[in-house]
């Protein structure tokens, strides 16, 4: 009998410390959720937002040919497993050991990714999730309740940040803030503002109340570009920014969207050369989803190295976004004139990150039309759309506000830009739920008419 007892795995541990769990979750959040890894949520919605275009024959992901299999990897491979499950275990372990900083960071990252998940799918499993082996078919919670969870997680994160720190503290394993709890706290407050404004049109919520909440949170949020949350990539072979891999030569022609390039051109935006490459003819040319593929993709503009270099930073939350949130909330509460300076500061903040010289920043900002009650929301969100290049926040804002106005792909099978994701095929297989009837043209709870 003893002879056969050799089945303990000598290669892989059964428990690991929190620091070993935190690092992969942060990188997964950067590379796989917010980054462009193939089939990542951000990658796909960047086509729909026409930041990017795929120089290939329709129908494809860009032209809304989206199957439930396309949703598998984000849900199965990244969000529920790599991120939520590991954060869940990390937080349990850290709570028991009173390593509160890990609990706090865990809750922040959990809330951040939970919002990504519910924004894509609406109702999602949470309350019955992560109860293996007791529950194998977790029920779906309403998006409204998930947003309450997000709020509670962020409040709880702040609570743990205020407890006496443990000596076993995050450091180099925290790629985002190197264990700096003050920075994390600012991020939590900025996120609270982001999610408050997300619900400006949600049933049972009013824009004014959401704006109040956002402004209150932002007072404790980001104060400068130094606060920006990002993961830096060394840029060596196996440790490069995901957009570098995915927009590279083998991509099949992932280029910039035409409306995006044209709008930057028409505004004489100094960020264009930083965001885009010139084509073979020395021009900035984006691709329209309704056009036939260009045989030679070198006739189009690719994503330039600020966003898609091997060693580029991947931003999770920026000061610029905080200012755009503040501008919008201020507009709601106090009107266009009050919002204008904040809106301009938001543009400048983004330009500074991109390295645009102050003179060029001011020239661009001065050429913007003044904000009015009629145009303020469109102006703010359209500028935010540029600052949120390759961020899923552009998609969330577009759904919520309708800005910028995009011309959808009009092929025979398409019914406009999708307003949500299909549930993954694996989920339909293993956990059938009535919610799964939703099509890509249905809306999530907070996405009401616009």
Partner 1 sequence: PSVSGKITGKDGAPVPGASVRVKGANTGAAAAADGSFHIAAKEGDILLVTAMGYNTYEIKVTKNGVVNITLEENSRQINEVLVTALGIKRDKRMLTYSVEEVKGATLVEAKQDNVVNALAGKVSGVQITNSSGVPGSSARIVIRGATSLVGNNQALFVIDGIPVDNSEAGNTNGAMYSGGTMNRGGDIDPNIIESMTILKGAAATALYGSAAARGAVIITTKNGAGKGKQGKPNLSFSSSYSFQNAILPKFQDKFAQGSDGKYINGNNVKGSGSWGPAIDTLKVNGVPVKKYDPFKEFFRTGHTSDNNINVSGYTDRSNYMVSYSYLNTQGTIPNTDYSRHSLFAKYGVKLLDNLQLSTQFNYIQSDNHRYLEGNNFVNPLWTIYGAPISWDPYPIVNEDGSQRLFRLGRNNPYWILENTGLRDRNSRIIPVVTLSYTPLPWLTITERIGADMFVTTAEYHEAPGAVGWGNNGSTPVNGQMYKRDIKSQQFNHDFMVEARKEFNSDLFGSLLLGNNILTNYNDNGLVQGVDISVDKLYNISNFADVTSTYTYARTRKVGFYAQANLEYKRMLTLALTGRYDGSSVLSKENQFYPYGSASAGFVFTEPLKMTDNPIFSFGKVRVSYSAVGNDNMSPYSLSNPYFRASPGVNFPFNGQNGYTLTNAYSFPLRSEKMKEFEIGLETKFFRNRASLEVSYFNRKSTDLLTPSSPVSAATGFTGIAVNAGAMQNKGVEVSLGVTPVKTANLTWNINVNYTKIDNKVLSLAEGVNYIQFAGFTNPGIFAYANQPYGVIYGNYYLRNENNQMLIDDNGYPIISTNLGPIGNSTAKWLGGVTSSLNYKGLMFSFTLDHRHGGDVINLDNSYLYFYGTAKATENRGTTVVLPGVKQSTGKENDIPIVLDQRYYQESYSKANETSVEDGSFLKLRQVSLSYDLAPTLLKRTGFRSLVLSVTGTNFILHKNYTGSDPEVSLSGSGNGQGFSNFNVPSNRSVLVGMKVSF
Residues 37 to 76 in contact with partner 1, rule: CB under 8 A: 37-38, 57-59, 65-69, 72, 75-76
Determine the Cα–Cα distance for residues 291 and 283; give it in Å rounded to an integer. Answer: 18
Give the range of 18-26, 264-272, 323-331, 401-409 binding partner 1 by CB under 8 A: 18-26
Give the range of 10-18, 203-211, 362-370, 384-392 binding partner 1 by CB under 8 A: 10-18
Which residues within the stretch 350-389 sit at the binding site for partner 1 (CB under 8 A)?
A: none
Residue of 126, 136, 35 lying closest to 78 (CA atoms): 35
Among 112, 147, 233, 315, binds partner 1 (CB under 8 A): 233
Question: Which tokens hold the place of 443?
Answer: 């809306």
The answer to the question of residue 131 lying near partner 1 (CB under 8 A) is yes
Among 122, 297, 392, 418, binds partner 1 (CB under 8 A): 297
The answer to the question of residue 291 lying near partner 1 (CB under 8 A) is no
Among 93, 123, 183, 251, binds partner 1 (CB under 8 A): 251
Which residues within the stretch 141-180 sit at the binding site for partner 1 (CB under 8 A)?
A: 172-173, 175
The answer to the question of residue 135 lying near partner 1 (CB under 8 A) is yes
Give the range of 123-131, 320-328, 337-345, 391-399 binding partner 1 by CB under 8 A: 123-131
Nearer to partner 1, 65 or 306 (CB): 65
Task: Tell the smallest beta-carbon distance from residue 82 to partner 1 (Å).
Answer: 5
SS (H, E, C) the chain: CHHHCCCCCCCCCCCCCHHHHHHHHHHHHHHHHHCCCCCCHHHHHHHHCCCEEECCCCCCCCCCCCCHHHHHHHHHHHHHHHHHHHHHHHHHHHHHCCCHHHHHHHHHHHHHHHHHHHHHHCCECCCCCCCCCCCCCCCCECHHHHHHHHHHHHHHHHHHHCCCCCCCCCCCCCCCCCCCHHHHHHHHHHHHHHHHHHCCCCCCCCHHHHHHHHHHHHCCCCCCHHHCEEECCCCECCECCHHHHHCCHHHCCEEEEHHHHHHHHHCCCCCHHHHECCCCCCCCCCECCCCCCCCCHHHCCCECHHHHCCCCCEEEECHHHHHHHHHHHHHHHHCHHHHHHHHHHHHHHHHHHHCCCHHHHHHHHHCCCCCCCCCHHHHHHHHHHHHCCCCCHHHHHHHHHCCCCCCCCCCCCCCCCCCCCCCCHHHHHHCCCHHHHCCCCCCCCCCCCC
Site string for partner 1, 409-438 (x = CB under 8 A): ---xx----------xxxx-xxx-------
The answer to the question of residue 86 lying near partner 1 (CB under 8 A) is yes
Among 122, 125, 221, 392, binds partner 1 (CB under 8 A): 125
> Cα 127 vs. chain centroid, distance in angstroms?
23
The answer to the question of residue 96 lying near partner 1 (CB under 8 A) is no
422 φ/ψ angles, rounded to the nearest 5 degrees: -70, 150
Among 6, 96, 366, 374, binds partner 1 (CB under 8 A): 6
Task: Tell the smallest beta-carbon distance from residue 293 to partner 1 (Å).
Answer: 8
The answer to the question of residue 441 lying near partner 1 (CB under 8 A) is no
Task: Tell the smallest beta-carbon distance from residue 40 to partner 1 (Å).
Answer: 8
The answer to the question of residue 200 lying near partner 1 (CB under 8 A) is no
Which residues within the stretch 269-288 sit at the binding site for partner 1 (CB under 8 A)?
A: none
Among 164, 203, 204, 236, binds partner 1 (CB under 8 A): 236
Size of the site for partner 1 (CB under 8 A): 95
Give the range of 4-12, 104-112, 217-225, 356-364 binding partner 1 by CB under 8 A: 4-12
The answer to the question of residue 12 lying near partner 1 (CB under 8 A) is yes
Four-residue CA torsion sign, 198, 200, 206, 208:
positive
Nearer to partner 1, 59 or 165 (CB): 59
Give the range of 28-36, 194-202, 210-218, 399-407 binding partner 1 by CB under 8 A: 28-36
Among 48, 80, 260, 284, binds partner 1 (CB under 8 A): 80
């Amino acid at each position: 009998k003893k002879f056969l007892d050799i089945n303990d795995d000598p290669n892989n541990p059964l428990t690991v410390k929190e620091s070993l769990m935190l690092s992969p979750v942060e990188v997964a959040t950067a590379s796989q959720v917010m980054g462009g890894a193939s089939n990542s949520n951000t990658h796909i919605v960047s086509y729909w937002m026409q930041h990017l275009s795929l120089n290939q024959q329709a129908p494809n992901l860009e032209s809304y040919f989206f199957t439930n299999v396309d949703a598998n990897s984000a849900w199965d491979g990244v969000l529920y497993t790599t991120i939520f499950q590991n954060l869940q275990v990390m937080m349990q372990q850290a709570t028991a050991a009173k390593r509160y900083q890990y609990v706090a960071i865990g809750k922040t990252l959990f809330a951040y990714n939970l919002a990504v998940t519910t924004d894509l799918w609406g109702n999602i499993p949470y309350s019955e999730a992560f109860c293996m082996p007791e529950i194998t078919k977790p029920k779906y919670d309403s998006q409204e309740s998930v947003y309450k969870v997000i709020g509670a997680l962020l409040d709880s994160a702040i609570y743990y940040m205020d407890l006496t720190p443990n000596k076993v503290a995050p450091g180099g394993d925290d790629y985002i803030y190197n264990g700096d709890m003050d920075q994390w706290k600012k991020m939590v407050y900025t996120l609270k503002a982001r999610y408050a404004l997300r619900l400006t049109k949600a049933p049972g919520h009013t824009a004014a109340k959401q704006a109040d909440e956002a402004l209150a949170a932002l007072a404790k949020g980001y104060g400068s570009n130094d606060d920006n949350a990002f993961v830096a990539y060394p840029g060596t072979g196996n440790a490069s920014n995901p957009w570098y891999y995915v927009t590279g030569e083998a991509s099949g022609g992932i280029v910039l969207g035409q409306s995006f390039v044209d709008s930057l051109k028409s505004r004489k935006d100094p960020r264009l050369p930083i965001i885009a490459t010139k084509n073979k003819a020395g021009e900035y040319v984006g691709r329209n989803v309704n056009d036939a593929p260009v045989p030679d993709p070198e006739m189009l503009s690719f994503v330039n190295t600020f966003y898609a270099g091997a060693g580029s930073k991947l931003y999770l939350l920026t000061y610029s976004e905080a200012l755009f949130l503040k501008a919008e909330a201020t507009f709601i509460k106090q009107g266009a004139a009050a919002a204008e300076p904040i809106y301009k500061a938001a543009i400048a903040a983004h330009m500074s990150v991109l390295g645009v010289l102050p003179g060029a920043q001011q020239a661009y900002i001065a050429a913007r039309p003044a904000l009015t009650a009629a145009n303020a929301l469109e102006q703010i969100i359209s500028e935010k759309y540029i600052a949120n290049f390759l961020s899923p926040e552009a998609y969330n804002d577009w759904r919520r506000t309708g800005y910028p106005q995009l011309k959808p792909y009009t092929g025979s099978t398409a019914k406009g830009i999708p307003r949500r994701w299909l549930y993954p095929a694996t989920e339909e297989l293993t956990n059938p739920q009535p919610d799964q009837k939703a099509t890509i043209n249905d809306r999530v709870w907070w996405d009401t008419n616009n």
